[in-house]
């Protein structure tokens, strides 16, 4: 048996495609058999499988499971839920691997697969290796089997276990009809205070709004409800529950790096001097605040698999990305779990005597920044453009960090240019202390793009 995948679906951090166009059930079966082969050759045999609420996910899960069984694996089927529930099951059961069927925050007709192997993220060359294995038909064979292992109640209890608030809060939650709905319904029963859940019914058509909390228009219903009900804060999740969005009691959005500062401030009280990672897109405010609080801020590459790997390598207890992935290795397992991050955040806010989340947000230094700017650049050209910019910066003696693209520091602030690992785009961002400074940074960025023959973003 050999199998070829569509050229677009094997990506840097996961496998993802359009159902019925670039991704089919037979692809899922081949993924299961190839991944099962990797597990077997790695000395293991037990693989946990879970799936989100997309309409195509049950079929994809059945096909993945069939492939795993054909490779001789023992499959623990954990059922429908968020991606971190699959990560939890793999940890709690000491499984040799795990596959989550999820399209994350992509449109309803998309789906995909996130994987872990031997407790570590499975990405990059590992994913490309599955394609080579399938193309060659280089599969193990065996007679595996399937058992149901519903970890749902256990996972909910584990989430609630670390809540440590001291007063009741009024909280609004927005599941966006994504995979967190059923878990959250049980979780809020275990948390004190008053809880209002929006769009908690799992519906893979996402009829109310798209489940991506990094897009402000997806948070409007949450903001309106927080204000209407006088809630202390609101929390939103993406489609598979590994990314969080937060609004304060005044309905204002807190971005990923702002959430991370608040979590870091609390963690550093019990782990003074701890190393805390943020990705290269994070504000200078994060790095300055963590240092001011006595921690060691570290800049990491963007990408949840890369952050998790770096966390394990340097033993950081906390990390996060601008996209809302938050990773706790303090009292937890080091993977991105937005439900767990929410529990920890609520505990912090509920221990403040005289401060609200809005007050804490206002105490953060104010910066002026662009949104994340993404613009088309061919895969064959995007990394070359970044390399050309880096060479010119080096020749000019500029101050920059090249851990992930180039992040350039100037008297006005900083600007970033990096190539996306998953799309044919370049990504840019600028941040300054003033509007004038931001304009100067934009001009510098645009000059570098123009020098490489790239039309700057509008």
Residue 323 is among the residues annotated as catalytic for this protein: no
Identify whether the C-beta of residue 98 lies closer than 8 Å to the C-beta of residue 87.
yes
- Residue (of 243, 311, 190) closest to 83 by Cα position: 243
- Which residue among the candidates 45, 74, 77, 104 is catalytic per the annotation? 104
Structure tokens given for 316: 């950081």
Which positions are catalytic?
104
């Amino acid at each position: 048996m050999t199998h070829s995948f569509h050229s677009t679906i094997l990506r840097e951090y996961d496998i993802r495609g359009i159902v019925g166009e670039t991704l089919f059930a037979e692809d899922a079966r081949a993924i299961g058999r190839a991944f099962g082969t990797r597990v077997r050759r790695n000395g293991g045999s037990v693989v946990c499988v879970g799936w989100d609420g997309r309409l195509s996910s049950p079929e994809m899960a059945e096909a993945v499971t069939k492939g795993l069984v054909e490779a001789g694996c023992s499959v623990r089927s954990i059922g429908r839920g968020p991606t971190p529930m699959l990560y939890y099951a793999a940890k709690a059961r000491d499984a040799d691997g795990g596959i989550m069927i999820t399209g994350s925050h992509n449109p309803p007709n998309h789906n995909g697969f996130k994987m872990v192997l031997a407790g570590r993220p499975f990405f990059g060359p590992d994913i490309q290796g599955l394609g080579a294995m399938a193309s060659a038909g280089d599969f193990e064979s065996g007679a595996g089997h399937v058992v149901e292992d519903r970890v749902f109640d256990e996972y909910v209890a584990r989430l609630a276990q670390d809540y440590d608030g001291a007063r009741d809060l009024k909280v609004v939650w927005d599941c966006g009809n994504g995979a967190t709905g059923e878990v959250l319904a049980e979780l809020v029963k275990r948390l004190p205070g008053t809880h209002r859940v929006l769009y908690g019914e799992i519906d893979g058509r996402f009829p109310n709004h798209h489940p991506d909390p990094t897009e402000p228009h997806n948070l409007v219903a949450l903001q309106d409800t927080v204000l209407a009900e006088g809630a202390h804060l609101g929390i939103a999740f993406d489609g598979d529950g590994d990314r969080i969005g937060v609004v304060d009691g005044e309905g204002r959005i807190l971005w990923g790096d702002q959430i991370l500062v608040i979590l870091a401030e609390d963690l550093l009280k019990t782990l003074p001097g701890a190393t805390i990672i943020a990705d290269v897109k994070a504000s200078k405010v994060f790095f300055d605040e963590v240092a001011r609080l006595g921690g060691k801020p570290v800049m990491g590459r963007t990408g949840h698999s890369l952050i998790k790997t770096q966390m394990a390598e340097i033993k950081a207890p906390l990390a996060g990305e601008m996209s809302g992935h938050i990773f706790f290795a303090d009292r937890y397992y080091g993977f991105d779990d937005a439900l767990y991050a929410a529990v920890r955040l609520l505990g912090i806010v509920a221990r403040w005597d005289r401060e609200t989340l809005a007050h804490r947000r206002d105490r953060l230094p104010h910066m002026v920044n662009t949104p994340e700017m993404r613009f088309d650049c061919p895969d064959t050209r995007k990394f070359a453009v970044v390399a050309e910019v880096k060479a010119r910066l080096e020749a000019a003696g500029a101050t920059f960090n090249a851990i992930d693209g180039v992040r350039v520091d100037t008297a006005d602030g900083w600007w970033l240019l990096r190539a996306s690992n998953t799309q044919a785009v370049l990504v840019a961002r600028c941040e300054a202390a003033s509007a004038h400074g931001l304009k100067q940074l934009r001009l510098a960025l645009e000059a570098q793009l123009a020098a490489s023959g790239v039309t700057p973003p509008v």
